[in-house]
């Protein structure tokens, strides 16, 4: 009887030890998963902040480019009365080329916003009638 009790006790002790090991490993996995989840939340918050900053930056860039376009166009219009002759073509192009570059920068900022909206699944297309001459 003592031998049976001793064997049962040893078996129970071994099972308890194995269970303790399983519990400890499970606890470690839970802690790692919680740490991973916290890191993912931190990265997601950082990514969201970067997206918001990018949206603001795009808005500022488009506004500054638009202001620069207006300034160059106004300068070009006001320049005429002060000239005795038209500007040589090369010089006129020096005023026109930056306008094209600024408009292109605005267009790329707009495209980027569209790409972000497509990725976020927030893009909404709108049917707009266009008059073709």
pLDDT by residue, tens only, the chain of 133 residues:
788 888 888 988 889 888 988 889 999 999 999 999 999 999 999 999 998 999 999 999 999 999 999 999 999 889 888 888 888 999 888 989 999 999 999 999 999 999 989 988 998 988 888 888 8
d(CA 130, CA 35): 54
Where helices occur in the chain by DSSP H, the ranges are 2-79, 89-120
66 and 107 Cβ atoms separated by less than 8 Å: no
Query: Angle at the Cα of 68 (from 84 to 115), degrees rounded to 5?
Result: 140
pTM of the model: 0.62
d(CA 37, CA 27): 15
For 106, other C-beta atoms within 10 Å of its C-beta total: 19
């Amino acid at each position: 009887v003592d031998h049976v009790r001793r064997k049962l006790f040893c078996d129970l002790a071994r099972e308890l030890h194995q269970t303790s090991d399983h519990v400890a490993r499970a606890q470690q996995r839970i802690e790692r998963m919680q740490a991973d989840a916290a890191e993912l939340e931190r990265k997601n918050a950082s990514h969201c902040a970067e997206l918001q900053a990018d949206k603001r930056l795009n808005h500022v860039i488009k506004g500054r480019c638009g202001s620069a376009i207006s300034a160059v166009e106004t300068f070009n219009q006001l320049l005429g009365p002060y000239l005795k002759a038209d500007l040589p073509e090369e010089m006129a192009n020096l005023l026109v080329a930056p306008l094209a570059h600024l408009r292109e920068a605005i267009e790329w900022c707009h495209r980027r916003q569209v790409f972000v909206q497509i990725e976020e699944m927030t893009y909404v297309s709108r049917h707009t009638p266009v008059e073709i001459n």
